[in-house]
Amino acid sequence: MSSIHPDIARILITQEEIAVRTAELGRQISDDYAGEEIMLVCILKGAFVFMADLARAIECPVQTVFIAVSSYGNSTQSSGVVRILTDLDKPIDGRNVLIVEDIVDTGLTLSYIAGLLRDRHPKSLRICALSNKPQCRKKEVQIDYCGFVLPDEFVVGFGLDFKDFYRNLPYIGILKSELYRKPEC
Ligand code: IMP
């Protein structure tokens, strides 16, 4: 996809920048977990694109599991209510769990999921997020591996959606403001 999508106001992070940063994160994670196995927990749906690339950039043995949650519905603002739609299909006790997320905004989704997984007694629990929008944080979460810090804009692409569209864009871009109502923090 070479041209910019007509609904995108501006590309924030290009496909090439994402590829370079993902490779860096993969190397860092491989070093940090050297000699260990990692269980990657992909938060669906948004993280599936990033996770596919990240998993291939990690040299340690990895297992992949998926958890589907819903917190936004068709809105651009977090409801604060996180619903587990599909739970993990494997136990995580005693495993090195690395949560893979597309974006951290208010922090409500990740803090809920991290709490839920911590209660299942993993050996370790860390978080890798493709992007971070720190301006609207409501719950502090420690992001151990962060791809990009973004401004307070509603972004789509590379797994990130609006009404389930735009996930297939190969870059992260700002959605044109006339297409949605910008939420207050
Ligand atoms: P939080 O609970 O507010 O941190 O939001 C986390 C979830 O909201 C992410 O997993 C995304 O699915 C979604 N989200 C937050 N900001 C954006 C955005 O700018 N674009 C698309 N989805 C977003």
Domain boundaries, the chain: 16-154
CATH code 3.40.50.2020 for 16-154: yes
Helices 15-32/48-57 angle, 10° precision: 50
* Encoded tokens for 12: 């924030």
Count helices and strands (H / E) in the chain: 3, 9
Mean pLDDT of 7-31: 98
Which residue's C-alpha comes closest to atom 9 of ligand 1? 103
Question: Does the structure show a pLDDT above 70 at 136?
Answer: yes
Q: Would you say the CB of residue 132 lies under 6 angstroms from ligand 1?
A: no
- Which amino acid is it at 8? I
**DSSP string for residues in 55-78:** HHH--S-EEEEEEEEESSTTSSS-
Cβ 158 under 6 angstroms from ligand 1? no
At 52-103, the pLDDT tens digits run: 999 999 999 999 999 998 765 555 566 567 889 999 999 999 999 999 999 9
For residue 129, the model assigns a pLDDT of 98
Helix H segments across the chain? Answer: 15-32, 48-57, 108-118
32 is catalytic: no
Name the residue at shortest CA distance from atom 16 of ligand 1: 105
Percent of the chain having pLDDT more than 70?
92
